[in-house]
Structure 1
Amino acid sequence: MNRIFTIIFLLISTLSQAQIQIKVIDEKTQVPLENVRVQPEKGKAQITNSSGILAFSVSENQNFTFFKSGYEVISATFGAGEHTVELIEKSLNLSEITVSAFESERPLLEQSASIVVVSEQDFNRFNETSIVNSFNTKPGVRIEERAPASYRISIRGSSIRAPFGVRNVKVYWNEVPFTSPDGTTALNLLDLSNIRTAEVIKGPSGSIYGAGNGGVVNLNSPANPIGGRVSADFMVGDFGMTRYRFGVSQQVGNGGFEASYVSQKSDGYREQSALDRQVFQLGGFFSVSDKQEIRTQVLISDLNYGIPGGLNADQLAADPTQARPGSVAQNSSISQQSVFASIGQLYKFSPKIKNSTTFYLNTNDFENPFILDYKKEVGFGFGGRTKFTYDGKLAGKDLRIIAGGEYQTSLTDAQNFGNVNGVADTVRFADKLRATQGFLFQQAEWDLMENFMVTFALSENFSSLEVNRQIDASSGATGLQTRKFDPIVVPRFALNFQFDDFSGVYGSLSSGFSPPTIDEVRTNEGSLNLDLEAEKGINYEIGYRLGKGKLNLDLTAFYFMLDQTITTYTNPQGVVLFRNAGSTDQKGIEAAIDYALIRNQSAFVRDLKIGTAFTGNYFTFTNYKKGDNDYSGNDLTGVSPNTLVSRLDLRTAPGFYLNFTHQYVDEIPLNDANTVYQDAYNLVNTRFGWARSFAGKWELEAFAGVDNLLNESYSMGNDLNPFGGRYYQPAPTRNWYGGVKVAFLYL
């Protein structure tokens, strides 16, 4: 009798299971898609067959998530029956892509600012050892690498005050402030694998992001994990380069975690330019409820790299691979260990009101032997950012209000020693440093008409620097010295008008300010330049965007006036110092055109795309006198007036691909007097390879490439106004690389 009841129970259970059949197709071609991984809300994932079909037996409606490489991830809820799902190929069509700039997640066509997106496809076009090449394909953006991992970011010429490091540009990583409160950014602590996409806002953006005239870079890590994935990469190249990465991601309920470890080493093209970087990242995403999400992340970075130093023209001609005399003997280099941890929460109070809040903590252990001295710093910092968003109506029209604040502070013990053969000697001076910055921000976006939006934003900013000198071996003054910058209100006003769903224009008026960093106030020879003023600027901008079908077009013209411009010079001892240089007049145009010649998922050649990006920076000094010299009217130091980048990307059905990039950079003035220039140069990079997925579980890729194909002689990051004519930081000659990637998707 028990056996009969058991059979009846199993029969009833089977009949109670509903059958859901799903067919997955390409949205444009309507061709069935094989090897699509479909993850149900409950139970195990499945893979679509050659007809794009799979089936589930479920007892209730469920949410399904669809994942396939090269396509957007989507989710949908289904009940019993047959269903068809259309996947959209990943695209950078301006009418489709959504960006989160100015804390307002909108399609790019609706954004009233000059914004460029650096996608995962852009990163994968090059060797993946740094962010330089991918960012430099975008108009108005230039990243320089004076030595491996020694970055400078120039957005519309903003690196004039950055002889080394990243300044005057605000950087966020996963919505957390990554720029220190003193205004510097250790961008080299991140590996490219810690970044999946980036948004670059060009020009002053203080209304939402605080201090900085150069712009904002928003970096984002890999998205939420789907299912489970284990991956490994390995790459080798010229100049002793090796790089390997191991990563794992795991979905846990509606959340999950991702972890990765990367090691990259190279001997470098020049003497004293070796690199050794190891980075570990762990990120978690937890959906607590329909109203609450929590995100965490930890980054541990161990970075060591040499500093070869600048060469003069004779040294460059004799041997561009040599280091500056003294760099090797003094072990001129940087060693930096850092931990960065954050936790954030998104809470939805109602369908109209939500809050996003993040807090972070970081530690830093920094050593910098240099030819003239030996610097050691140990410090930590903390801070946070919060914003409230309200979506409602005003006079029957959509209104979005965003308000919040940001606060950061850092404490550092800094000591400068003599350098004897690369070893720290007698202490010269020692300080306890504190940097603090904070601001409140408010922004309103109002749709006056269906296709016309007005934006008005404000921020109220404050910042201060403290230098508490503990030791001064030269018998100079000791004690606490403070520089507080007057609170400043930074406004932004913008308009956006859309002609239709595919095109529109925008205009903006924005201001910005940028106080000096501690490294500009506290210099390596021990002086304190507390009289250095903050830069202040105002920017006028107008732009046009078109994104329809296979064509993208983005045009921008701007006029930026900057007062109290901070520039650099070098004293006879070789120490870089800073001064305010009156004002600058910066006019520019930026253009980007992309066109898909072929886009057909059922053909042999599935994608063939071409693109061009032009940057015209026509910047001059105004009212700039230094002693008996009047540089008013001269071109702005370190800025190329014309840059042109051309791209070609080919992808075929068997999985073979080719990426080709040509970059022309016009001559660059290297001193304020405009008597020395770097010659114009043409840089060609290419990458080719093969990538396929198998059975919906395995992803394989083999690739190779060549950088500087034309074997051009150029510098990627010259020294400006140096003593002794040491302008040049020679970049590598023609060099090769190659590697493999493998990933396994477990269900």
Structure 2
Amino acid sequence: MRCPLCLLAACASLIPPLSATAQPVTTLPAVEVETPRLRSVFAFDTPASIDRIDLRGDSAMAGMNLSERLGAVPGLLARDRQNHAQDTQLSIRGFGARSTFGVRGVRLYADGIPATMPDGQGQLSHFSLAAGDRVEIIRGPFSALYGNSSGGVVQLFSAVGQEPDEATARVTAAGDDSYGASARWLGRQGRVGFNLAAALLDTGGYRRHSAARRESANARFDVDLASDGTLSLLFNHLDIPQAQDPLGLTRAQANADPRQVAAVAEQFNTRKSVQQDQAGAVYTQAFAGGHQLRVAGYAGQRQVEQFLALPVAAQGNPLNSGGVIDLDNDYGGVDARWSWQGEVAGRPFEWTAGANSERMRQHRRGYENYVGSALGVRGALRRDERNRVENVDEFVQAWWQLAERWSLLAGVRHSQVRFRSEDYYANAVNPDDSGRVRYAQTTPVGGVMFRASDDLRFYLSAGRGFETPTFNELGYRADGGAGLAFDLAPAISRNVELGMKWRNGAGTALEAALFRADTDDELAVASNSGGRSTYRNVGRARRQGLEASFDVPLGQDWNLQLAYTWLQASFRDGFLICTGSGCTVPATPVTAGSRIPGVPRQQLFARLQWQHANWSAAAEAAGVGEVVVNDIASESAPGYALLHLELSRRWALGQGALRGFARIDNVLDHRYIGSVIVNEGNGRFYEPGPDRTLLIGAEWKSAR
């Protein structure tokens, strides 16, 4: 990165000069966020990149996927794969880009309850926008204080019920036979606030063989207890029955017909079913002298059945575990922390100390995906194992305003993650593959903030993070043998960030950050074929870049929002990989300096919004740079730029208001690749994005 201080200075040069004769302005109200675990320090005064997305405002989107609301966050890439069997692709600063399904490298939370399992694998599918109040994102070094991740933290918070009650009902319809409906009842009865929400999505899918249905329900109850105590009770249900999986396409197939499906997807009827139920409780108690106790506990069940397109011939190997994956996951955990805020040496001070323990028990079975000549059906048992992963972590952090203009935030976390597998499918040709492995790491982080003026901050932060292999990455050995890949090591990252934040009383805000993350023992795909990925440690990697966001009111009715990311992600060491279906012996070289696949060099987001009286309109543009699709960079998905338009109108109706809205995505009908499957062994790397799509909807909300 050339002259990083020059780049930051260029951003700072956009700020109007400060002088003693400047006219006084009204300082913007500070925005509270919970993600940095600070009670008395606002996001603006935290030495980290933090974004807060308000979900309470009007939206002209479907309101079903979190990826809809994350486009304005620099450094974050959320790709809707048009494939509900594989969930959203989410990466922050290049971490998590290699994941072929689910989310890894980024910690996920819903109302303080982890949506990331102890092994580092997470899911977004049960995040409820219908119940949501806001989303908070933290990027960079301080994400290490949350444990097994390196890229960042994404937290969704449900609204807390208040008086008077409020009811909301929403319906949408879009192309490809896509329909959505949601409802929420928010309110309070005496000491109890409640938030009850349900949502339904039914779609025929943009591509053939991509139909899906998703049902979700959320309930939150907040009870005010005596003596400044609160108890939050949280419940969540998710059901995705048999979401069809169209798999990826080759470049030639995507160019010829982006709606087509890989032939093997229809032959084997590739699909995935998910059911999840969880419950949690969060108890908070304030004590005299600035002390506070917070204790949280949760438990849940997640069942997954997935039919892969694994060829019958490949299952002739007695060590092969079949083409049907059947997972039963039971998980739970507890989190306790004690915090205090007061003064040290006459200056504001706050510290938090805590510990948490999480556990997941997994029953993993594999079956053949054929019976006789019938394909895509559950056949004979080929794998049966009981897996368990658990972590025990302790952390402490402290913030201190050591001088009028200077403050420090520092912390350290110690994590232990244990994996254990017991093989119940052992015979003469398939040996007992039971085993266990333990990872432990201490991750310190610290940052300093300089308050240049009431409206301008500069900060520097640094820390270390780590990522263990997930059970999905341990699930298959790169050499083709049976059992788990217990030889994988965790990836260790050293992160540094230099940033600035500025705002004024007129509502304008500018933030920019330069960052670098150097990783040892980078985990990368070793092979990817037949719906299966294997992994290996490939040495050093680097992710570095620049992020900037700009939000400015343009008169009384207009607002402009911009976000830009430049990211360079590369392997620092050369290594050998497998290419081609069935490969188990790496023989193809990847040279040092090669780009990490799945990571675009540049991203740009712009939104111009107009709102006057009962009318609202917006134009939105999103651009993503070229993305290489495999380690050897033999192919790439071209960059693209899309334009979206919105229009809405509100009418007073009885005891509430009715809002009608319409949105056209991809107005120019641009053909593009929406997401990629990194290192797909059959060359089917590409998942095309949808063409021009019209969405219409209506929302009724009772008056408060």
Give the secondary-structure state (helix, strand or coil) at the position aligned to 2:125: helix
Residue by residue, what CA displacement relative to the aligned partner does 1:610-639 show, whole Å, maximum 9, x if unpaired?
121110001221012214624201122111
Q: Mapping of 1:30-429 within 5 angstroms?
A: 96-105=30-39, 106-120=41-55, 124=59, 126-149=61-84, 150-205=87-142, 207-304=144-241, 305-372=243-310, 373-420=323-370, 421-429=375-383
Q: Is the 8 A contact 1:125 1:134 kept in 2?
A: no
Query: Which of 690, 695, 719 is 2:677 aligned to?
Result: 719
Q: Is the 8 A contact 2:230 2:285 kept in 1?
A: yes
Structure-2 residue corresponding to 1:490: 443
| Runs of 5+ consecutive residues of structure 2 not aligned to the other structure | 1-26, 311-322, 577-586
User: In the aligned structure 2, how far is the partner of 1:560 from the partner of 1:460?
Assistant: 20
Structure-2 residue corresponding to 1:562: 519
Q: Is the 8 A contact 2:60 2:663 kept in 1?
A: no
1:629 correspondence with 2:589: yes
Residue by residue, what CA displacement relative to the aligned partner does 1:17-58 show, whole Å, maximum 9, x if unpaired?
xxxxxxxxxxxxxxxxxxxxxxxxxxxxxxxxxxxxxxxxxx
Q: 1:438 to 1:684 in 2, by over 3 A?
A: farther
Amino acid at match of 1:358: A
Query: Which of 544, 547, 550 is 2:500 aligned to?
Result: 544
User: In the aligned structure 2, how far is the partner of 1:707 from the partner of 1:474?
Assistant: 57
Q: Is the 8 A contact 2:462 2:495 kept in 1?
A: yes
Give the secondary-structure state (helix, strand or coil) at the position aligned to 1:102: coil
Q: Is the 8 A contact 2:417 2:438 kept in 1?
A: yes
User: In the aligned structure 2, how far is the partner of 1:624 from the partner of 1:457?
Assistant: 34
Structure-1 residue corresponding to 2:19: none
Offset, 1:125: 5.0
Structure-2 residue corresponding to 1:522: 475
Give the secondary-structure state (helix, strand or coil) at the position aligned to 1:188: coil
Residue by residue, what CA displacement relative to the aligned partner does 1:448-476 show, whole Å, maximum 9, x if unpaired?
11231111101111001111111147822
Offset, 1:490: 0.5
Structure-2 residue corresponding to 1:533: 489
Offset, 1:745: 4.2
Give the secondary-structure state (helix, strand or coil) at the position aligned to 2:30: coil
Give the secondary-structure state (helix, strand or coil) at the position aligned to 1:205: helix
Q: 1:693 to 1:460 in 2, by over 3 A?
A: farther
Amino acid at match of 1:465: F
1:456 correspondence with 2:410: yes
Give the secondary-structure state (helix, strand or coil) at the position aligned to 2:263: coil
Structure-2 residue corresponding to 1:54: none
1:505 correspondence with 2:469: no
Give the secondary-structure state (helix, strand or coil) at the position aligned to 1:499: strand
Q: Give me the identity figure in percent.
A: 22
Offset, 1:284: 0.2
Structure-2 residue corresponding to 1:732: 690
Amino acid at match of 2:267: A
Give the secondary-structure state (helix, strand or coil) at the position aligned to 2:88: strand
Q: 1:331 to 1:610 in 2, by over 3 A?
A: same
Give the secondary-structure state (helix, strand or coil) at the position aligned to 1:433: strand
Offset, 1:675: 2.4
Structure-1 residue corresponding to 2:658: 700
Offset, 1:127: 3.0
Q: Mapping of 1:663-674 within 5 angstroms?
A: 663-674=622-633
User: In the aligned structure 2, how far is the partner of 1:327 from the partner of 1:267?
Assistant: 16
1:577 correspondence with 2:531: no
User: In the aligned structure 2, how far is the partner of 1:392 from the partner of 1:430?
Assistant: 55
Residue by residue, what CA displacement relative to the aligned partner does 1:64-116 show, whole Å, maximum 9, x if unpaired?
xxxxxxxxxxxxxxxxxxxxxxxxxxxxx976322222201432220111112
Offset, 1:206: 5.0
Q: Is the 8 A contact 2:171 2:698 kept in 1?
A: yes
Offset, 1:192: 2.1
Offset, 1:479: 5.4
User: In the aligned structure 1, how far is the partner of 2:264 from the partner of 2:590?
Assistant: 34
Q: Is the 8 A contact 1:649 1:657 kept in 2?
A: yes
| Runs of 5+ consecutive residues of structure 1 not aligned to the other structure | 1-92, 600-606
Structure-1 residue corresponding to 2:17: none
Q: Is the 8 A contact 2:134 2:157 kept in 1?
A: yes
Q: Is the 8 A contact 2:67 2:80 kept in 1?
A: yes
Q: 1:204 to 1:335 in 2, by over 3 A?
A: farther
Query: Which of 580, 597, 602 is 1:642 aligned to?
Result: 602
Pairwise CA RMSD: 1.9
Greater gyration radius: 1
User: In the aligned structure 2, how far is the partner of 1:645 from the partner of 1:297?
Assistant: 34
Give the secondary-structure state (helix, strand or coil) at the position aligned to 2:254: helix
Residues 567-576 or 531-540, more deviating: 567-576
Offset, 1:351: 4.1
Structure-1 residue corresponding to 2:15: none
Residue by residue, what CA displacement relative to the aligned partner does 1:270-321 show, whole Å, maximum 9, x if unpaired?
1121110111111101101242111001101111322110111222122211
Offset, 1:269: 0.6
Offset, 1:196: 2.4
Give the secondary-structure state (helix, strand or coil) at the position aligned to 2:410: strand
Q: Is the 8 A contact 1:616 1:643 kept in 2?
A: yes
Amino acid at match of 1:408: E
Q: Is the 8 A contact 2:672 2:689 kept in 1?
A: yes
User: In the aligned structure 2, how far is the partner of 1:635 from the partner of 1:519?
Assistant: 24
Q: 1:368 to 1:110 in 2, by over 3 A?
A: same
Q: What's the TM-score, normalizing by structure 1? A: 0.83
Offset, 1:173: 1.0
Amino acid at match of 1:582: G
Structure-1 residue corresponding to 2:642: 683
Amino acid at match of 1:542: L
User: In the aligned structure 2, how far is the partner of 1:101 from the partner of 1:365?
Assistant: 29
Offset, 1:137: 2.0
Q: Is the 8 A contact 1:207 1:457 kept in 2?
A: no
Q: Is the 8 A contact 2:142 2:463 kept in 1?
A: yes
Structure-1 residue corresponding to 2:702: 744
Structure-1 residue corresponding to 2:612: 652
Q: 1:391 to 1:732 in 2, by over 3 A?
A: same
Amino acid at match of 1:371: A
User: In the aligned structure 1, how far is the partner of 2:661 from the partner of 2:426?
Assistant: 55
Amino acid at match of 2:680: P
User: In the aligned structure 2, how far is the partner of 1:499 from the partner of 1:242?
Assistant: 50
